[in-house]
Amino acid sequence: MKKQFIPGRGLRYAATTAVLLAAGLASSCNNFLDVQPQGQPTFTQFFQTAADAAAAINAPYGKLREWNLTAFNWLSITTLTSDDAEKGSVTGDAEFLNDFTFFRLTSTAGPVEGYW
């Protein structure tokens, strides 16, 4: 059976598809990606003085000095769970660290919640 050849049909199909695709893309992302941050100072509210700039620079480092990131939590999350270290010591001394060794953790466990 012969197929009837209609000149320009493939070009018309491609052009229609391109126009529909362009129209869909142009209208699909109007305000979806342009969301104002909530609960954070905007650039018009911040960096007005040298003290504002110093606060912005120093703020991330404050969290790094907290007990939850530098003491038991850091060691237990990074070393006890990977068998790079063993809990050791006597029974009853920092017993909660065995939960890391044996993977008996919950989301509300003290070290996990503090680290998060």
Domain that holds residue 65: 9-115
* Structural domain contains residue 1: no
Q: How far is CA 96 from CA 67, 77, 87, 100, in A?
A: 16, 12, 10, 8
pLDDT of 1 above 60: no
* Structural domain contains residue 4: no
- pLDDT at residue number 107: 76
* Structural domain contains residue 89: yes
* Structural domain contains residue 18: yes
How many folded domains does the chain comprise? 1
Instruction: Return the minimum-mean-pLDDT range out of 28-32, 53-57, 79-83.
Output: 28-32
111 pLDDT tier (thresholds 50, 70, 90): confident
**Residue of 58 and 46 predicted with greater confidence:** 58
pLDDT of 6 above 70: no
pTM, to two decimals: 0.38
Instruction: Return the minimum-mean-pLDDT range out of 26-35, 76-85, 93-102.
Output: 26-35
* Structural domain contains residue 49: yes
* Structural domain contains residue 2: no
* Structural domain contains residue 81: yes
- Tokens coding 58: 């120093």
11 pLDDT tier (thresholds 50, 70, 90): confident
DSSP letters of the chain?
-PPPP-TTHHHHHHHHHHHHHHHHHHHHTSSSS----SSS--TTTS-SSHHHHHHHHHHHHHHHTSHHHHSHHHHHHHTGGGTSS---S-TTTTGGGHHHHTT---TT-HHHHHH-
* Structural domain contains residue 47: yes
